[in-house]
Amino acid sequence: MIRFIIRRLLETVPVLFIIATATFFMMHAAPGGPFSSEKQAPPEVQARINAFYGLDKPLFQQYLRQMKHLLTGDLGPSFKYAGRTVNEIIGDSFPVSAELGCEGLFVALLFGLVAGMVAALKQNTFWDHLPMSLAMVGLCVPTFVLGPLLVLVFAIHLDWFNAAGWFFPRDRILPALTLGAVYAAYIARLCRGGFLEVLHQDYIRTARAKGASDARILFKHSLRGGILPVVSYLGPTIAGVLTGSFVVETIFGIPGFGRFFVIAAFNRDYFMVMGSVLFYAVLVIFLNLAADIVLVWLNPRLRFEE
């Protein structure tokens, strides 16, 4: 396992280099600049600003300078938020996005696993068709549609929750439901397929013949094998939940990291965009690595060398 982890970590070095290089040149290829939308300043003032941030240098020199800072862990200053570095903004805002992502993942796992297991146990019955139909609806309704609908029903008409904000525990419910609904639908279908494959094995028939209850068969005999597809999906799912919070944070006015990322893209905040992309790239890589390790632990037939 140690060799597997070391090899995977070494493989991330060229991947992060390619991501950083592609992000840098794509940002600078876009029309406009970080200060083009501001009030037109005198030429000498604009020249000093460009010199301060190194924007007066040739493009390749800017690239080498930024790569050098990235190697030391310095993501640079933010153009939009003067006096703050990208490291500080990530440190202040990402915990909010992480909390929202964990709550959305909890919703996805809770509803997805329960729906998938019930559907697998009651195959081709009403309790199979109902959760799978709801899962199909969840797949078809995007978050930017589901979020406003939940606000309209539960915040405006029923007045159960606040339409926006991040101040009280109840403010977490609607954003978590919005973020986790789509992934709950995927998990439900994967869970159903995984459990159906296990429930048709010979040892499950033997357990039923011995009089084992559905609960014992589900949690004692088939749980470890049935959730393998879900575990394989959890690595990219967790990353998707965290990065997918951009839209949800905008809908519900949540002060998370996604808001800064979106604003940085619109304002050509080069350092902020680069830092955000690399931060999420590292996060995705480590989450996928953790998912692979758990997958091998659950399925002894797999080996780290494979």
Residue 116 CA: distances (Å) to CA of 55, 108, 212, 266, 273? 54, 11, 20, 40, 38
* Amino acid letter, 80: K
Q: Is the pLDDT of residue 34 over 70?
A: no
pLDDT score for 147: 85
Q: Is the pLDDT of residue 220 over 80?
A: no
| Residue 39 binned pLDDT confidence (cut-offs 50, 70, 90) | low
pLDDT score for 33: 65
pLDDT score for 300: 62
Burial class of residue 294, CB neighbours in 10 A (0-12, 13-18, 19+): middle
Task: Identify whether the C-beta of residue 249 lies closer than 8 Å to the C-beta of residue 94.
Answer: no
Q: Is the pLDDT of residue 32 over 80?
A: no
- Write down the residue that tokens 């915990």 correspond to: 95
Task: Identify whether the C-beta of residue 83 lies closer than 8 Å to the C-beta of residue 90.
Answer: no
As a whole number of angstroms, the distance between CA 161 and CA 30 comes to 41
For 94-121, write each residue's pLDDT tens digit: 888 888 888 888 888 888 888 888 888 8
Residue 38 CA: distances (Å) to CA of 71, 80, 272? 31, 10, 17
Q: What is the DSSP string of 14-45?
A: HHHHHHHHHHHHHHHHSSS-TTTTSPPPPHHH
Q: Is the pLDDT of residue 38 over 70?
A: no
Q: Which of 82, 75, 95 is nearest to 273 (CA)?
A: 75
| Residue 305 binned pLDDT confidence (cut-offs 50, 70, 90) | low
For 141-167, write each residue's pLDDT tens digit: 888 888 888 888 888 888 888 888 888
* Ordered domains of the chain (ranges, CATH): 93-269+283-298 (1.10.3720.10)
